Structure 1
Amino acid sequence: MTTAAASAPETTGVGALLREWRGRRRISQLELALRADSSARHISFIETGRARPSQEMVLRLAEHLDVPVRERNALLVAAGYAPAFPETPMDDPAMAALRAGMERLLTGYEPYPALVVDGMYNVQAANRGTTMLLEGIDASLLRPPLNAMRITLHPGGLAPRIRNFLEWRGHLFAQMERQLALLRSAPLRALYEEVRNYPLPEGGRQVASFGEHPPFALPMMIEHDGTVLSFVSTIATFNTPMDVTVSELAVETLLPADPETAARLRKTAR
């Protein structure tokens, strides 16, 4: 009976969290041990709570399990260590170089829309191509902090103008669901539940026709000033971030999906 208790899996603490992450990544204890230059026995002891991992081991396992930076701090705290990664506000002077770099990047992408969002989809920066698309939406949605999900999915936002709203809505929900599978974020969960409960705009169930030539990726087809503009979205993140805030920033660029959209944006910019 004593032996069984000693070998029972840990249900709380860093061992349980690491076991959960290993399960998500679908790798065995042996495979993780080989990646982390350890042994399957040691990994087993950590997961069952029979061994306390060092701070270095926690970070090494987190790296090989591709754990998000915020959750790496949570693993360290569960193991009895201080968080290793700061969470610096975007308006902190230490972020001045980052902010300036993002502004140059967004400006250089004009006249095409581009913006930077944080882990809650709050807009941290945007260029003139993006603000052009915001013309005519409900003023309440433009009060800081601007939230990209609310602006896109709210009936008073872009939703009534998106021709393929159901498809684009499904794409955004899938994106949020992937994040929620990795992060224990109550605010993000609340945002997800909020936008899921928005009513469909009038005509929101229509499915857009792509004509004879299907697009190479799902576009967002949006009406603007009597014309339908078509964009495909790309998202870029920072390599090897050392700060929680930076790790959750995403640069989203909207690339014209057809020559007509590109020409219209260039004309509008002139």
Structure 2
Amino acid sequence: MTTLVTGTGVGPLLRGWREQRRLSQLELALRADSSARHISFVETGRSRPSEEMILRLAEHLDVPVRERNALLLAAGYAPRYTETALDEPGMATVRQGIEQLLAGYDPYPALVVDGSYTVVAANEGLGLLLAGLPEHLLTPPVNAMRVTLHPEGLAPRIRNLREWRGHLLHQMERQIGLARSEALRKLYEEVAAYPLPEGSAGAEEGRGEEGPEQYAYVALPLRIEHDGQVLSFVSSISTFNTPMDVTVAELAIETLLPADPATVAYLRSARPTP
């Protein structure tokens, strides 16, 4: 994934991150146990920060791991974080852990995506929801946002598409603000331009034909129709704690947990018998 940055050298880059986080030099200095004068000197190029100072500032600015490497390179230092492909031998433990986690969620849908929402792993529960979609959306690399919002994807099946679409676009906007990725911005522009399916349940405002909701959801549900049954899920997203590898840092595990007893019963009944 490419990163959209402004300026050259570590000073302008740090200033860009600080301004994006809407912090003054004094606020950042207090958080990083430094001084506003030193922060100013770093941003203007009058002072070369140490590796430790760069990483400390990056931590307090919530700079993604990939961009922390970019800051170090701009200052003339070697990258601190590795970037290991998920299929390499050194990532075997990570792959095994992901597979076990996804299998443990079956029959509830679960998937793992990278920083550009490319699906890197999924369980059988998700496959149930994707059944019947056109091949061009399911040919690897599969993108979770395209599959969900494309008019030939899940969009026509989502009963509260307007609400769910707004939630996903807001999620992407926030991610763009954190990562400043040009590739992610292009994906956002693509999926945001998809039209709402006309004359389908996907264009409704979020109520099924059965009338008012029977359950008080704890979070915005995804209400999706499957074989004539309206299923309701709440989404949960998990990431790895304090990752030291760029690939691992950008992985997110999303689980769709049943939001009502009817969905639980349907998923269990639809699960293949071992």
With structure 1 as the length reference, what TM-score do the two structures score? 0.92
2:43 paired residue number: 47
Partner residue, 1:5: none
Distance in 2, Cα, partners of 1:264 & 1:133: 12
User: Structure 2: how far apart are the matches of 1:201 and 1:20?
Assistant: 39
Compute the displacement of 1:212 (Å). 5.1
Percentage identity across paired residues of the two chains: 69
Q: How big is the shift at 1:188?
A: 1.4
Structure 1 residue runs of 4 or more that deviate by more than 6 Å after TM superposition: none
**Alignment-derived partner of residue 239 in structure 2:** 237
Q: In the aligned structure 1, how far is the partner of 2:95 from the partner of 2:47? A: 43
Q: Equivalent residue of 1:182, what SS?
A: helix
Q: 1:162 aligns with which of 151, 158, 161?
A: 158
Task: In structure 2, list runs of 5 or more residues that go unmatched.
Answer: 1-5
1:20–1:125 CA distance, 2 compared to 1 (3 A): same
State the partner residue of 1:123.
119
What SS class does the counterpart of residue 76 from structure 2 fall into?
A: coil
Q: How does 1:87-98 map to 2 (within 5 A)?
A: 87-98=83-94
Which is further off, 223-232 or 207-216? Answer: 207-216
Q: Separation in 2 of the partners of 1:156 and 1:19?
A: 43
- 1:247 corresponds to: 249
> 1:6-25 to 2 correspondence within 5 Å?
12-25=8-21
Per-residue deviation at 1:54? 1.3
Q: 2:28 aligns with which of 29, 32, 35?
A: 32
2:138 is the alignment partner of 1:142? yes
Matched, 1:67 2:67: no
Aligned to 1:264: 266
1:196-215 alignment runs, 5 A limit: 196-202=192-198, 203=200, 204-209=202-207, 210-211=212-213, 213-215=215-217
Compute the displacement of 1:251 (Å).
0.2
Q: 1:212 to 1:224 in 2, by over 3 A?
A: closer
- Decide whether aligned partners of structure 1 residues 223 and 56 sit closer, same or farther in structure 2, where only a CA change above 3 A counts: same
- Provide closer, same or farther for how the CA distance between residues 73 and 264 of structure 1 changes in structure 2, counting only shifts above 3 A: same
- The aligned runs of 1:102-113 (5 Å cut-off) are 102-113=98-109
Whole-Å separation in 2 of the counterparts to 1:238 and 1:144: 24
- Write the distance in 2 (CA, Å) between the matches of 1:266 and 1:258: 13
Separation of aligned partners in 2, 1:147 and 1:33 = 40
How far apart are the structure 1 equivalents of 2:97 and 2:8?
A: 42
Decide which moves more: 95-104 or 56-65.
56-65
Counterpart amino acid of 2:206?
A: A
Q: 1:168 & 1:14 partners in 2: Cα distance?
A: 39
Residue equivalent to 1:7:
none
Given that 2:58 and 2:68 are in contact with CA atoms closer than 8 Å, whether structure 1 keeps it comes out as yes
Which ranges in structure 1 are unaligned for 5 or more consecutive residues? 1-9
State which of 74, 79, 83 in structure 1 corresponds to 2:75: 79
**Contact 2:156/2:203 (CA < 8 Å) preserved in 1?**
no
Normalised TM-score (structure 2)? 0.90
State the 1:71 CA deviation: 1.1
